[in-house]
A = this chain, B = another copy of it.
């Protein structure tokens, strides 16, 4: 078959089913308010199926004034692998509502998000963290109908993550905690929100604030941080994520220290290599399918004018205990 084969149009389907294009359109979009005989409907559906008809997206959205494309902007962060699972789940959940999700990785070399939004004719743009005001405006101008999340960190349960990490450590008897902050600037705001959760948990438990130290994914840098914690008698550290946790473990090795005896470490994400570390890392993971479903509901709700009815709860988080704590 040649790539140039003419595409099946709704007129072809109409002809094959012996009806008009209008009727085809009504049936295929099952427009409410038009009671079309079951027989006719069946004939149309059958013809469409047989011809492998797919409405041309450009024509459809040009006429209808809106597309069913959802654009997910994935930030250019060193994100764990688990995120791709989330993306799939979200795409699946949205597909269930007739929406098609594609993703765009927002690298430095990439084109500006609004350009991509316009290029794919997206009517919804979603991100992981909220966009700054200018971007939001540009996205609307680029044709987006909905931009989410509206509020910063609204859907990432940032603080709850930190709380969970800290509570886990506190529950195991640690009284002096540390926080391993990533140096990467783009991770900063997310890390700070998670840290807030850790701080709250400490205060609630009557402990001092955690000792916050930055580290990169370099062993030497991590070793410095480890020295800082041990000097200040920290016994347990919450790491921003699993990679950071692995770096902390590597830093401890430099000092001949081992978890959890010398220092307990908790990560976030449950990346595949978390369980392969020495020792395997205790981590906080998301119930990805559930989070994705929530997000999808929210999107559909906002699209249809209702306000987002669902709040993100920390019930979607879970500690996976392993031997690093």
Residues of A within 8 A of B (CB): 1-5, 7-8, 52, 54-62, 67-69, 71, 74, 76, 78-81, 84, 87-89, 91-92, 95, 100, 102-105, 107, 109-111, 114-116, 118-121, 137-138, 140-147, 217, 219, 243, 246-247, 249-250, 253, 271-273, 275-278, 280
Contact = CB atoms under 8 A, between A and B. Distances in A.
Contact of A143 (B7, B79, B280): B7
16 contacts: A2-B140, A3-B146, A7-B141, A52-B141, A56-B62, A56-B121, A58-B67, A69-B120, A71-B102, A74-B84, A78-B81, A84-B105, A89-B109, A100-B116, A121-B121, A273-B273
A109 B88 contact: yes
Most buried by B among A68, A91, A100, A105: A105
Given A58-B59, A119-B69, A110 B84 contact: no
Given A81-B78, A88-B76, A116 B102 contact: yes
A249 B226 CA distance: 24
* Interface class of chain A by DSSP: mixed
Nearest to A289: B109
B103 A103 contact: yes
B103 A91 contact: no
Contacts of A87: 105
Q: How many copies, total? A: 2
Contact of A276 (B115, B120, B219, B275): B219
Nearest first, the 4 A-B pairs at minimum CB distance are: A88-B107, A92-B109, A100-B119, A102-B102
Given A118-B57, A246-B273, A276-B246, A107 B78 contact: no
Given A81-B81, A142-B54, A143-B56, A95 B121 contact: no
Contact of A278 (B69, B250, B280): B250
A219 B140 CA distance: 50
Given A57-B118, A57-B120, A247 B276 contact: yes
Nearest to A280: B219
Contacts of A146: 3
